[in-house]
Amino acid sequence: MESHWFFYPKYGTDIVDKVVGCFVNEYLSWEHNGYYWSIDKMPNHNGWFRLCASPDGNTDYYTETCFSDEVVSGKDLTENMLILLTGENGCATQHDLDDPDNNDWCLEEVCIDEVLLCLSAEGTHIYAPCGDRLWARSVDTGKHEMIDMMDFILTRKVA
């Protein structure tokens, strides 16, 4: 089962690589569980990137959602740029909501698409093909939907 996400980041390649690499390896354990992943610029589609995840055998431990309730480390917040996932428009949540002085963040129940949403430019969408359907999420509204792939292709307005 190979998975793909297409997105248009608002940050440079180095930042996107750090954030996504840290999230998928440290919080989703893709590499540890036998999943290879890559982020590639899309040829002939200026600014668009593709995140690809593919298994090397067993797919029992694949997940797109973080289930760890551990506090995000200071190193991950700074060196790996996960600070971009915090705050009002971020997907990370405060670790202890009952503590008003809490400055700790958590990625529990954060999905890879939410990370990509935080990294994507306004006015764009995140796309993930799913067989003959296309999952799409608006960066502006956060609304997502499943679209019939053929309907999407045939009704797309071409510039």
For residue 59, pLDDT beyond 90 = no
Give 75's DSSP letter: H
Does the predicted TM-score (pTM) go above 0.85? yes
Q: Mean pLDDT across the stretch 63-88? A: 93
Give 67's DSSP letter: -
pLDDT at 159: 44
pLDDT at 91: 94
Residue 119 burial (10 A CB sphere; 0-12, 13-18, 19+): buried
Which of residues 58 and 69 earns the better pLDDT score? 69
Of 53, 49, 40, 60, nearest to 2 (Cα)? 53
Phi-psi region of 109 (alpha: psi -120 to 50; beta: other; left: phi over 0): left
For residue 157, pLDDT beyond 70 = no
Are 115 and 24 in contact, with CB atoms under 8 Å apart?
no
What is the C-alpha to C-alpha distance for residues 54 and 34, in angstroms, rounded to an integer?
A: 9
User: What is the tens place of the pLDDT at every residue in 6-41?
Assistant: 999 999 999 999 999 999 999 999 999 889 999 999
pLDDT at 55: 86
